[in-house]
Chain A
Amino acid sequence: MQTEVVTGNRDGRHGGGSGHGAGAGDHGGSGHGGSGHGDARHGDGTHASPAFYWIIGGILTVITAVEVAIFYIPALDAVLVPSLLVLSAGKFLLVVMFFMHLKFDSRVFSGVFLAGLVLAMFMTVALVVLYHVLPAYDFMG
C-alpha cells in the first residue's frame, strides 16, 4: 500500500515548483505551485496519498472506539477523564496535522491557528477555574 507523503518547503517562499513560479521573484514555486502541479497545491508544499488518508481515517475510528469502550468499562473510571482527554487530543492533532495539512504546510498557518487555539484554551481553563473550581472552596472561612 502506497503511503508516501510529499512535502515541500515549510517557509512558503521557495517551492521550486514549475507552476506559476518562474519569474515571480521570491514568490516563486511555493506560492504558485510548490509541488509542481501549477496552482493546484497553493504552495505550501503539501499532500499525502489517498492511502495515507485512509490510514489516518482508520486510526481516528479506532481511537473513537477506544474512547467509547473506556466510557463503558467501570474498572477504568479512575482514569476515565485523563484517558479521554489524551485520546481526544490525539484525534484533534491527527485531523489538524494531516487532514488540514498543518504538518506539511507553512509554519505561518500553524502560528496563526495556534494563536487563536492557545488563547481559547487559556480562556476556557481560566473561566472553569474561576467559576467552577474556586467556588467549591470557601476561602472566607
Chain B
Amino acid sequence: MAHAAAVAPDDHHYTSTGLSSWKVGFWAFIGSECLFFATLISTYLVYKGRSITGPYPEEILDIPLTTISTFVLLMSSLAMVLALDGVQRGSRKLALIWLGTVILLGATFLGFQVYEFNHFVHEGLTIGTNVFGSSFFVLTGFHGAHVAVGLIWLLTLWILAFRNKLPATDSLKVEIAGLYWHFVDVVWIVIFTLVYLIQ
C-alpha cells in the first residue's frame, strides 16, 4: 500500500475488469456509430439504381480522384498510430510531427471532398436532384462531418503537445482520439467500395 500511496493519482477511471472506463465507453460509442453509418449505407443501397433522372453514379463519380483521397485517409491512419507510439514513448517531437501529419492529411481529404461536392453541384447533382444525390450527399456528408470533428479533436491534442502538456501518462487521450480517427477511416473503406467501386 505504501508503494501505491507513493504513486501519483491519475484522472483515469477503471472498470471492475481493470480496463479503462473511458476506453470501454468509447468502444461502445464506436459500436453505436456502426449502426448509425449502417442506416446511411443501407439507405444508399436500397435506393441504388432507382433514380429516374440523372446524373447517375457511373456518369459522375471520379474514381482516380477518390482513390487518391482514400490513400490519403489510409495514410492518415498510419500517421495516427505513429503519433500514439510517439506519445507513449514520451517523445514530444514525434507526437508533434505525426499529429501534425494526421491533421494535414485529414484536411487534405476534406479538401478533396469539398472539391468533389462542388464539382457535382456544377454538374447538376445536388441533394435534391434524385435519390442518388440525396443518399450520396447525406452518407458522404455525415462522414465528412465526422472527419471535421476528428480534425478539431486532433488539433487540440497537437496544441497540448506543443505546449508540452501531453506526457506519456496522458496517452489515453491520444489513443481514444486515434480510435475515433481509425473508425472514420474504416467507414470510408466501406463507402469507397460500396459507393464508388461497386456501381
Contacts and interface: CB of A to CB of B under 8 A. Distances in A.
Contacts of B172: 39, 42
A43 B46 contact: no
Contacts of B186: 91-92, 95-96
B164 interface: no
A41 B88 CA distance: 7
Contacts of B156: none
Contacts of A72: 63
Nearest to B194: A88
B88 A84 contact: no
A123 B3 contact: no
A95 B20 contact: no
A124 interface: yes
B19 A43 contact: yes
B30 A113 contact: yes
B3 to A, nearest CB: 5
B78 A117 contact: no
Contacts of B39: 123
Interface residues of A, number: 66
A134 B17 CA distance: 45
B59 interface: no
B198 interface: yes
Given A40-B169, A40-B171, A127-B46, A99 B19 contact: no
Nearest to B196: A71
Interface of A: 11-13, 15, 20, 22-24, 26-28, 30-32, 37-44, 47, 50, 53-54, 56-57, 60-61, 64, 67-68, 71-72, 80-81, 84-85, 87-88, 91-92, 95-96, 98-100, 106, 108-109, 112-117, 119-121, 123-124, 127-128, 131-132
Interface of B: 1-5, 7, 10, 12, 14, 17-20, 23-24, 27-28, 30-35, 37-39, 41-42, 45-46, 48, 63, 67, 70-71, 74-75, 77-78, 80-82, 85, 87-88, 90, 168-169, 171-172, 175, 178-179, 182-183, 185-186, 189-190, 192-194, 197-198
